[in-house]
Amino acid sequence: MKKIKYLPLRELPVQPVLLTCFYLFIQLFITLPSKADTWRYAIEESSTGIQGVYASRFKQIIEKNSDHKVLIYPFGTLGESTDLLEQAQAGLLQFVDQSPGFMGSLIPEAQVFLLPYVLPEKHSEIAYFFKHSKTIHQTFHKLCGEQDLELLTMFPEGNVAITTREVFRSKEDLSSMKIRVMSSPLLIETYKAFGAVPTPLPTGEIFGALQTNMIQGQENPWFYLESTKLYEVSNVITEIGHNIYTTAVMASKKFYENSTLEVKFLISSAIKEATDFIIEYQRELEISAKLKIQKVAPNIQYITLTDAEREPFRQSAKKVQAKFIDMTGSSGKEVLRQLQEDLNDAKNH
């Protein structure tokens, strides 16, 4: 048998040895188990709302594939939406859900997602947009990073409907109505353009304000109207087709940047799976919420404005776009341009 001749270590080619050692080190680094941690995830809704379902799915995936634990804090347990955002920036929360309506004061460009009659209504276009939008995954990601937040994704929560005491079919009908809005400057401008009297209020005060006639209406997605029973203090629910409700999922930038490659991959995988799930789930939940409300509140009037009735609102929306650019300058103008490009891609994909 021919003997195998072994080279002394000093005679081995240096580059291949170093390269092999490097790859072994990287492989060891990636496969080393991370220390099991407990992550805090705060949402703006109840545990049964869309954000709650999303967070629960995220938690399930994380805990199935690692030793990490995720604690979910529903709305009200850690304060209002602005409180949650500040806690995430400070690193007290690892994850937070936040709607652009509450983020507008911190990141004015985020209000682009609130512009009326801009986001699509067709489900296929909505799904494509949220998965592939450069506005979300590049532009908005950078803007969040500048505020100590790591944007992980955004997802839709369904069509926004307006609940009121009285029927309205025109801007004139809204002229004396106080409509509750989130604290977004752009939402305030939107309802001014629609002819109403916009009234910013915290989420927790909506029901009581409607009940006491402090406000005469408010807007929210259908699932939220059903889960919070806002239909109990409203007489009319109207769809004018002006927007869909969106949510941003963010991590504390400090937490994310200090995480290992393994943890970042784990988070990314869980975010993708949860987002794919919620895009389909929110569509089904909207249908279910409408049926539930109609069953328990048969006396409520359900109105969908015709295209002709929507046209004056669409025209007013152009003024809101101009206000958006006034508020955000050249940065906002570029965000709007990119958004429109993304929407064209979603329409033509």
Chain-centre distance of CA 279, in angstroms? 11
Query: What range defines the domain where residue 254 resides?
Result: 37-348
CA 219 to chain CA centroid, Å, is 16
In a domain, 11, yes or no: no
Helix 14-31 and helix 261-296: axis angle, to 10°?
A: 30
Res 126 pLDDT > 80: yes
Rg of the chain (C-alpha set): 24
Cβ–Cβ under 8 Å, residues 158 and 226: no
Contact by Cβ (8 Å): 81, 39: no
What percent of the chain clears pLDDT 90, i.e. is strictly above it? 83
Q: Is the dihedral of CA 102, 104, 109, 112 positive or negative?
A: positive
pLDDT above 60 (res 5): no
In single-letter form, the type of residue at position 26 comes to I
Reference 246, options 131, 124, 157; nearest CA is: 157
Q: Is residue 185 within 8 Å of 111, Cβ to Cβ?
A: yes
pLDDT tens, position by position, 282-291: 999 999 999 9
Confidence of residue 321 (pLDDT cuts 50, 70, 90): very high
Residue with tokens 């929360």: 93
**Tokens 């592939």 sit on residue:** 132
Average pLDDT, whole number, for the chain?
90
Cβ atoms of 39 and 70 closer than 8 Å: yes
State yes or no: pLDDT of 14 exceeds 80. Answer: no
Cα–Cα distances in angstroms (integers) from residue 185 to residues 65, 110, 145, 192, 233, in the given order: 41, 11, 22, 11, 26
**DSSP label of 106:** T
In a domain? residue 99 = yes
The pLDDT-based confidence of 105 (bands split at 50, 70, 90) is confident
The answer to the question of residue 25 being in a domain is: no
Q: Which residues make Cβ contacts (< 8 Å) with residue 51, sequence separation at least 6? A: 43, 44, 45, 97, 157, 247
Please check whether residue 255 lies inside any domain of the structure: yes
The angle at the Cα of 110, spanning 104 to 113, to the nearest 5 degrees, equals: 110
Quickly count: other Cβ atoms within 10 Å of residue 145's Cβ.
Answer: 15
Q: What is the DSSP letter of 63?
A: H
Query: What is the CB neighbour count within 10 angstroms for residue 86?
Result: 14
Q: Is residue 44 part of a domain?
A: yes
Of residues 28 and 153, more confidence is placed in 153
Structurally, the chain folds into a number of domains equal to 1
For the stretch 227-276, pLDDT in tens is 999 999 999 999 999 999 999 999 999 999 999 999 999 999 999 999 99
With both helix axes pointing from N to C terminus, report the angle between 123-132 and 307-348 in degrees, rounded to the nearest 10: 50
Q: Are the C-beta atoms of 106 and 120 separated by less than 8 Å? A: no
3-state secondary structure of 183: coil
Closest alpha carbon to 180 in 241, 230, 119: 230
Within-domain flag for 210: yes
| Angle at CA of residue 172, ends 166 and 177, nearest 5° | 45
Contact 110, 143 (CB under 8 A): yes
Residue 304 has pLDDT above 70, yes or no: yes
pLDDT in tens, 19-49: 444 444 444 444 444 578 999 999 999 999 9
- Rounded to 5°, the CA angle 296-297-300 comes to 165
201: CATH: 3.40.190.170
Confidence at 69, pLDDT banded by 50, 70, 90: very high
Q: Is residue 5 part of a domain?
A: no
